[in-house]
């Protein structure tokens, strides 16, 4: 029985003449692909087959990354993971400027982190200094975002063992086994 109601919903959706924007949402209506009008919370007219309406939650959102590993100016390896918060301030700017706000914001922050880390010595880096530097360079207003904040949730100076990796590449297991068994 549910498949019947799903088919009915799908077929009737193009003929709905209104759209309701919730208090925590913002909407944008495009008429014939030319004009974009902001829809505030409430009920709005929608002309079927002429209007396209997009609704977006304006509530605070959080995203995080799993971390990235980079090398500092003095050759030390640093691993950094961040969390970002943002809310939508201007839906028209958002839709006109960027396609995927979460991915765009996260990749922009990751690029800033890479730039900062690669130009800094390891002794000058700290989670607090990274947060402050990153916060200055995010074009939140240009993208229609607000309340943008970045937190460093994981920060580690990592020791590398590249010499061990090089020795491992030169390691021949058959020679080592012969030496252990004293077989000649």
Write out pLDDT tens, residues 82-128: 999 999 999 999 999 999 999 999 999 999 999 999 999 989 999 99
Q: Count CA atoms closer than 13 A to 109's CA, side-chain side.
A: 30
- Residue 182 DSSP code: T
pLDDT, residue 168, reads: 54
Q: Would you tell me the crossing angle of helices 101-118 and 127-136 to the nearest 10 degrees?
A: 120
Buried b / exposed e over 156-182, threshold 16 CB at 10 Å, is eeeeeeeeeeeeeeeeeeeeeeeeeee
What confidence tier does 176 reach under pLDDT thresholds 50, 70, 90?
A: low
pLDDT, residue 119, reads: 94
Q: What is the mean pLDDT of the segment spanning 149-172?
A: 72
CA angle, residues 82, 85, 91, in degrees to nearest 5: 135
Q: What is the mean pLDDT of the segment spanning 148-172?
A: 73
Structure tokens at 24: 């925590």
The structure's pTM equals 0.75
What is the C-alpha separation between 41 and 60, in angstroms, rounded?
Answer: 17
> So where are the chain's domains?
2-57, 61-162
pLDDT, residue 12, reads: 79
What is the C-alpha separation between 77 and 117, in angstroms, rounded?
Answer: 9
pLDDT, residue 146, reads: 95
Residues paired with residue 155 on neighbouring β-strands, in sequence order: 80
Q: Identify the CATH number of the domain defined by range 61-162.
A: 3.30.479.30
Beta strands in 77-144 (DSSP E): 77-88
Q: How far is CA 20 from CA 28, 36, 125, in A?
A: 12, 17, 49
What is the C-alpha separation between 74 and 114, in angstroms, rounded?
Answer: 14
User: Which tens digit of pLDDT belongs to each residue from 23-33?
Assistant: 999 999 999 98
Q: What is the mean pLDDT of the segment spanning 55-60?
A: 95
What is the C-alpha separation between 12 and 21, in angstroms, rounded?
Answer: 19
Identify which has the larger pLDDT, 95 or 164. 95
What confidence tier does 8 reach under pLDDT thresholds 50, 70, 90?
A: confident
Identify which has the larger pLDDT, 164 or 85. 85
């Amino acid at each position: 029985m549910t498949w019947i109601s799903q088919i009915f919903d799908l077929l009737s959706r193009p003929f709905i003449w209104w759209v309701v924007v919730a208090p925590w949402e913002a909407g944008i209506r495009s008429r014939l692909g030319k004009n974009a009008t902001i829809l505030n919370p409430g009920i709005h007219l929608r002309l079927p087959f002429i209007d396209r309406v997009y609704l977006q939650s304006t509530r605070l959102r959080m995203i995080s990354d799993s971390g990235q590993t980079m090398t500092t100016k003095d050759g030390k390896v640093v691993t950094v993971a961040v969390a970002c918060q943002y809310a939508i301030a201007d839906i028209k700017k958002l839709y006109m400027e960027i396609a995927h706000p979460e991915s765009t914001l996260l990749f922009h922050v990751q690029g800033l982190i890479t730039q900062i880390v690669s130009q800094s010595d390891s002794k000058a880096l700290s989670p607090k200094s990274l947060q402050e530097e990153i916060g200055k360079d995010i074009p939140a207003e240009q993208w229609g975002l607000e309340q943008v904040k970045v937190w460093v949730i994981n920060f580690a100076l990592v020791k590398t063992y590249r010499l061990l990796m090089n020795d491992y590449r030169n390691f021949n297991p058959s020679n080592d086994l012969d030496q252990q068994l004293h077989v000649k």
